[in-house]
Structure formats: C-alpha cells, structure tokens
Amino acid sequence: MIIKDVNGKSPKIPADCYIAENATIVGDVEIGNQCSIWFNAVIRGDVHSIKLGNKVNVQDGAVIHATYLKSPTTIGNNVSIGHNAIVHGCTIHDDVLIGMGSIIMDDCVIESNAIIAAGAVVTKNTRVPSGTVYAGVPAIKIKDISENLVHGEIHRIAENYVKYSSWFKV
C-alpha cells in the first residue's frame, strides 16, 4: 500500500480498517472505523480534504478525489463505493450505494438511503434525494427505494464488506 503525506497532511486510518496492499491513500484523508479500501483503489487528498465515515468500502479500482481549494469530498457511514467508480468533490450521506463504474461529479449531494446505479453519471451540482435510485447518463431518478431495498442491498453490502475485509486481515 502507498500511504503518503502531501504538503504536511497525513492520512488518518484507524487500526481496524483493511487497506489492500496496492491501494493508495495520500494527503488530507480521514477514514472512519471498520472501513475497507480494496485493490488498486486511490484516495487522493492532495488538493482538498477527503473524509470517510464508518463502515465505508471503497472497492477495487475506485478513485476518490476533490477539487483544488473548492470542493472537498465527504462520505458518510455505511457507504459502498463500487468497483471502478469515481467520486469527486462531492458529499455522500449515510447508507448509500454507489454502483460499479459510476461517476459522481463536483458539488453533488447524494442524500441518505439512495442508490446510484452502475455506470450512472451524476453531473455537477446534482442533488439526489433520499430514498431514490438514479441511473443513466446523465443520471436521472428512475424509482423510489423500498425499505426492503435499503436493508436488502445498501445495508447488506456495507456489512458484507466488513466481513470480507476480515478475511484479509493478518
């Protein structure tokens, strides 16, 4: 793993997190408890702050960045960021699923209990309301989320990644 200071700022990573051997975490990054950062994921806090809550999983190949002196990235608790997703200069509240290969652009807000479908592009300044699924390019609301989907997908995936990470801890 690459964990590196940038401009006097050091990543803060609790001991109970799993960081894959080839993940990269640099600069002004604060990670919550029970998080997992998977293979080839990059969290680059060189130009602004990045903060992850508890039980966040950043899956293989995902990139989290920010916009220089303008847009930090803030991610809440129980958030799953799918394989090869890009999360850039935005705010993601608690209990959110960011699908594989999706892109969340600057100054977006993804409210709690929302799902961004795989491959979706959430364009700059979009606000995704709580309890909705957004999909497409550009992403638009395609449906409301049921309680079953919140517990059956969002919570299940976040909890599963806590379990999966335990398999890799030495």
What is the number of domains present in the chain? 1
Q: Which two tokens stand for residue 135?
A: 């999909």
> What kind and span of H or E run contains 163?
helix 156-168
Indicate the burial class of 58 (C-beta count within 10 angstroms; 0-12, 13-18, 19 or more). Answer: buried
Domain that holds residue 18: 2-168
Q: What backbone phi and psi angles, to 5 degrees, belong to 149?
A: -70, -40
| 170, pLDDT greater than 70 | no
Query: What is the band of 134 on the pLDDT scale with cuts at 50, 70, 90?
Result: very high
85/1: higher pLDDT: 85
Domain with residue 10: its CATH number is 2.160.10.10
Q: What is the pLDDT of residue 169?
A: 79
pLDDT digits (tens, 9 = 90+) for 13-32: 999 999 999 999 999 999 99
Q: What is the pLDDT of residue 1?
A: 87
C-alpha span between 48 and 18 (Å, rounded)? 23
Residue with tokens 């916009």: 67
C-alpha span between 34 and 158 (Å, rounded)? 10
Q: What is the pLDDT of residue 153?
A: 86
